[in-house]
Amino acid sequence: MTASATYPFTAVVGMDDMRLGLLLNAISPSIGGVLVRGEKGTAKTTTVRALSALLPQVVTVPGCRFSCDPAAPDPTCPDGPHADGPGEARPAHMAELPVGASEDRLVGALDIERALGEGVKAFEPGLLAAAHRGVLYVDEVNLLGDHLVDSLLDAAATGVSSVEREGVSVRHASRFLLVGTMNPEEGELRPQLLDRFGLTVEVAASREPDERVEVVRRRLAFDEDPAAFAAKWSAEEETLRERIAAARALLPSVRLGDGALRRIAAVCAGFEVDGMRADIVTARTASALAAWAGRTDVLTEDVRQAALLSLPHRRRRNPFDAPGLDEDKLDEILRQFEDDEPEPEPEGPDDGGPGDGGPEGGGPDGGGQQPPQDGPGSDGTPPDVPQQRQEPAESGTGPESGSGSESAEAPESAPASGEAPEAPAVAASAPFRTRRLDVPGLGEGSDGRRSRARTAHGRTTGSRRPRGALSRLHLAATVQAAAPHQRARGRSGPGLLVRRDDLREAVREGREGNLVLFVVDASGSMAARKRMSAVKGAVLSLLLDAYQRRDKIGMITFRGAGAEVALPPTSSVDAGAARLEKLPTGGRTPLAAGLLRAHEVLRVERLRDPSRRPLLVVVTDGRATGGPEPLVRAARAARLLAGEGTASVVVDCEQGPVRLGLAAELGRELRGPVVTLDELRADSISALVHTVRTTHTRRAA
């Protein structure tokens, strides 16, 4: 396929919500972009690229790297000031931000050496400049660093990108249609970042054989002869392009009356969304829907469709909440305003309703479903999403010992014919705020909020010679390095002559995210109903803590004859919560198998991501009953992990008046602290006492 070939937007099969969200942003960029959530292989990238080809051409100042409009040039443009003169027309650009991009690649790079040595403000534009008056596409936006996402969304909200370093400032306009895509299985965006996207849509591959056949047929035809395929759809593309232009022209005439505003306010209040951004985005989306349908009045159907696009991602209060919107509740709220509905205007023959999701039909082969980029495509059916976590079966949140017929412990020993029957899964107790567990020492992993690390952002702790291009100047250290050489360099008057060897970059310390690997004992000794509910509640709390601290997580469970990886290392804590909820219990306690499996998982992860340090959290009562010499083998496995420097924490789940202290023994072998379920709580008295004692011991040492 040639670089200039673009799959036609009108040839996309299905994906109605995604196509509609993109078209509405093309009509009204002030909506704030669209976040596309969906499984891999659903051709999200292909659809976004197809949209960029439909956008109207832009007229720019000749030679301006920042795409200034000659009719209203940016007064702060680094390439300005611009003289009056004719502009040049070009297609709207689509800039793509890769996951591994640096901050300089996004916002641009300032040449600090030339700024200090020559007094020249030399600025190399980044992707925010390239996307101005076009499209900025961010694939896997949930995997971007927080500082990149913050810069990206700040520019999207303000329309301005700023680069400020050591007193040198560059500002330029940056207004673009923002499109982000993500696979929820790889982790969620923080709620405050989700809120910055105007709309969100869910996509999934079609399960209908006929639709999948059509996706494959069109994709193969496009790959065989892109030019001929595009020509086949050129009439539909031109019709859609004209309709977008007409809707843009009509948008300023759309009337958003008090009745529509009351509906929007009632819906946003009824779903208890935070802040006022939801109301504003819903209003802009409803207006764009009316313009797309060729109307100048916003109807109830516009408000309803706008709410379905703008509110689902704003209702998530924590990563365990299922996305989506209760449509029955939405209709109930809107029914209160049935008497205020304005009379709809007659529609023209080419006008479509707000729910048509884009062009109907799509050409000789029928209407629009999208081809996948790498495989089968999808229809507009929402993907399966995690169900909201059920309320705990037991009251209370603290650790409790089980008793009674339902809470009796599962037998530790298995009959000769096999293992003891497993106990039914129980719900986790309510999560709580946990103490911060961290990895000792100073790391260099990805930005996060858990352990100390050298990072690009944080407090300055020192300076060093640059390693490669200078990124963060340490001004005082640079002056100190240059000052002794001024006489030798012929400088006798005021001012400072700085050379490259004098430059020093700042060394900063912040916090990193870690890989938190849970090793959870699911054996019979842990199977008491109330006890396991408390254990699951503790692990759920740690999962929530890992989400807030930007960690990756993984989960290993051991019971019966061995251990298994319940969840490979991932950024999706809701996937961890789902695995935890269904965790079965019962059988023997192969503690050594669990530790050895953890050792293997960590070995592989070190190869994949050497800079991310692991934190092993072993949740157990310390008993070991599986295999020959179980305690000896468990101690040997623990020493293996400790010998490699793995930071570990043991959560002691032992209960009752008679305690064996085996979890404490395990902690000594792992060379890590041991905390009880109660001490794990950040607000408990025992946790405070434990913290004071630990601090006192460290100071004494």
Number of Cβ within a 10 Å radius of residue 309: 24
Question: In this model, does residue 394 exceed pLDDT 60?
Answer: no
CA distance 151 to 196: 12
Give the class (CATH, top level) of 9-203: alpha beta
Give the pLDDT confidence score for residue 344 in this predicted structure. Answer: 58
Question: In this model, does residue 385 exceed pLDDT 60?
Answer: no
CA distance 472 to 480: 16
Strand, helix or coil at 20? helix
Which of 552, 235, 583 shows the shortest CA–CA distance to 428? 583
Give the pLDDT confidence score for residue 299 in this predicted structure. Answer: 94
* Section 109-138 average pLDDT: 79
* Section 143-159 average pLDDT: 80
* Section 45-59 average pLDDT: 88
Task: Map tokens 């999934």 to a residue.
Answer: 204
Token code pair at residue 698: 């460290």
Residue 435 annotated as catalytic: no
Give the pLDDT confidence score for residue 477 in this predicted structure. Answer: 86
pLDDT tier at 322, thresholds 50, 70, 90 = low
Q: Is the pTM of this model over 0.75?
A: no
Residue 468 φ then ψ, to 5°: 90, -145
Q: Cis ω on the peptide bond leading into residue 657 (within 30° of 0)? A: no
Question: In this model, does residue 378 exceed pLDDT 60?
Answer: no
Give the pLDDT confidence score for residue 384 in this predicted structure. Answer: 37
Give the pLDDT confidence score for residue 1 in this predicted structure. Answer: 38
Q: Are 212 and 218 in contact (CB under 8 A)?
A: no
- Domain 514-700 superfamily per CATH: von Willebrand factor, type A domain (3.40.50.410)
Alpha-carbon Rg of the chain, whole angstroms?
Answer: 30
The single residue of 165, 262, 277, 636 carrying the catalytic annotation is: 277
Token code pair at residue 606: 């070190």
CA atoms in the 13 A half-sphere facing the CB of 639: 6
Strand, helix or coil at 461? strand
Mean pLDDT, the chain, rounded, equals 81
CA distance 689 to 405: 36
Q: Are 332 and 212 in contact (CB under 8 A)?
A: no
Question: In this model, does residue 283 exceed pLDDT 50?
Answer: yes
Q: Are 567 and 651 in contact (CB under 8 A)?
A: no
Question: In this model, does residue 345 exceed pLDDT 70?
Answer: no
CA distance 371 to 377: 5
The residue extents of the domains of the chain are 9-203, 447-511, 514-700
Which of 144, 170, 176 shows the shortest CA–CA distance to 158? 176
Whole-angstrom CA distances from 41 to 46, 205, 373, 414, 521 are 10, 8, 6, 45, 36
Give the pLDDT confidence score for residue 143 in this predicted structure. Answer: 79
In the β-sheet with 199-203, what is the strand arrangement from edge to edge? Answer: 94-97, 135-138, 177-182, 34-38, 199-203
Percent of the chain with pLDDT over 90: 38
* Section 18-42 average pLDDT: 90
